[in-house]
Amino acid sequence: MSRKNKIAAFIMLLLGVGIFAWELRNTNIRHLVHQFNQINWWWILVGMLMMFGSWLVETVIVQVFLKQEHEQLLFREAVRVPLVEQLFNAITPFSTGGQPAQLFALMQSGIEGGRASSVLLMKFVVYQFMVLVNFILTIAVGFHYIADQLGPLKWFIIFGMVIHVTVIAGLLLVMYRYGFTKRLVAIAMVPVGWILGQKRRHEIGARAEEKIDTFYQESLHLKREKKKVIRASILTLVQLLMYYSVPYFVLLALHVQHVDFLRVLVMHVMIVMIVSLFPIPGGSGGAEYSFSQIFSTFMPHPAQLVLAMLLWRLLTYYLGMICGVVAVGFQPHHGKQLKDKKQIS
C-alpha cells in the first residue's frame, strides 16, 4: 500500500470511531455493556462466514472469466482479487478504487493487462445486472414490509434505482446500438461546449468516445462467452444473497425477537442502494443513519440498535478492509500462477 492509501484507511477508521462515538452520545453505557454481554457469538461467526463465503464465490467468478482451454488462475492467486477490491472500495469515494486495484492484482499474478481489463469489465457488467435484478426482486416481493418506515429515505432508494437503471441502459446501448450511442454522446457534448468551451468539449468527447470504443470491443467477449456469463450471473446472485443476509445473523446474535429473514434481506438491499449514493468512502455516515432508521422497528432500545449497527459495520465494511490489507501484503508467485490442466490431472 502507498502512503496515501494508508492515510486514507486510517482516516476511514477514525471517521468510523467518530460516527459511533456520536451515536453513543445518548446511549446508556450500562445498557450497552449488558447487551454486549448477552451476544451469541456463534451467530456472529455465521455472519462472518457469510462474508468470507461471498468473497470466495467472487473468487470463483474471477476464475470462471479467466479460465481458458488449458489455463486457469490458481485459487490462491484469484482470492487476492476480491479482497484487494474490498480494501480499495472502502477507502475511495463511490468505491472508484476497486476496479484499478483488481486490475493491478491480476497483473501482479501475471495476467496480461488487456485480458485482465476484459475480465474485470465482464465481471462489472454482470455484477451491475445482478444488483439490479436483486433490487427489483426484493421490491416486488418484500417492499410492503418496510414501506411505512422509510420516510424520506424512499427518495434516496428511488434515486439509487434510477442511477442503476441508467448505468445498465447505457451499457446495453453501447453493446447493441454502438453507432446510435456515439451519436447520442456527440449531441450531449454540444451543451458542454457552451458551458465549458470548445476545447474542453473536445477533450471530454474524445475520452468518452475512447471509453465507448473500449467497452464495445470488450462487450463482444460477453456475447461470445454466454456460458461463462450465465454461470457468473448465478454465482453473483449467490454472492449477493450471502452478503445481504449478514444483518439477519447480527439480529439473531442480539436475541432480537420475531426476526423474518426475507424482511431483513429487503432492508439490507435498501440500505446498500442508499449507501451507494454517498460520496464518502464506505458511505460512512449515510450507512449508519440508514441502518438506524430502517432497523429501529426491530430494536427500539437505543443500546441494542447501536450495538447491532457496530457489529454490522464491522462485518460488512471493516472486516473487508482488514482482509484487504492482509491480501495486499501477500505477493503472488510470479510465473507459477497458471497451470496446464493436463499437468494438474
pLDDT at residue 59, rounded to an integer: 95
pLDDT at residue 336, rounded to an integer: 41
Q: Which of 65-74, 94-103, 295-304, 315-324 has the highest mean pLDDT?
A: 315-324
C-alpha cell at 4: 496515501
Cα(342)–Cα(337) distance, integer angstroms: 15
The one-character DSSP state at 71 is B
Cα(305)–Cα(256) distance, integer angstroms: 10
pTM: 0.86
φ and ψ at residue 338, rounded to 5 degrees: -110, 130
Question: Binning pLDDT at 50, 70 and 90, where does residue 160 land?
Answer: confident
pLDDT at residue 343, rounded to an integer: 43
- Cβ-defined contacts of 234-239 (< 8 Å, 24+): 235/57, 235/60, 235/61, 235/64, 236/57, 236/61, 236/126, 236/127, 236/130, 237/130, 237/133, 237/134, 238/57, 239/54, 239/57, 239/58, 239/61
pLDDT at residue 284, rounded to an integer: 78
Which among 280, 325, 245 is positioned nearest to 19, based on CA atoms? 280
Residue written as grid cell 446501448: 173
φ and ψ at residue 294, rounded to 5 degrees: -80, -35
Cβ pair 229, 217 in contact under 8 A:
no
Q: Which of 126-135, 143-152, 232-241, 334-343 has the highest mean pLDDT?
A: 232-241
Cβ pair 87, 325 in contact under 8 A:
yes
pLDDT at residue 147, rounded to an integer: 66
pLDDT at residue 152, rounded to an integer: 73
pLDDT at residue 149, rounded to an integer: 66
Cα(318)–Cα(275) distance, integer angstroms: 15
Question: Binning pLDDT at 50, 70 and 90, where does residue 167 land?
Answer: confident
The neighbour count for residue 321, using CB atoms within 10 Å, is 21
Confidence check: pLDDT of 337 > 60: no
Which among 337, 334, 247 is positioned nearest to 294, based on CA atoms? 247
pLDDT digits (tens, 9 = 90+) for 63-104: 998 887 566 788 888 999 999 999 999 888 877 888 889 989
C-alpha cell at 45: 461467526
User: How much is the average pLDDT of 151-167?
Assistant: 79
11 against 315, higher pLDDT: 315
pLDDT at residue 183, rounded to an integer: 87
Confidence check: pLDDT of 335 > 50: no
Q: What percent of the chain has pLDDT over 70?
A: 92
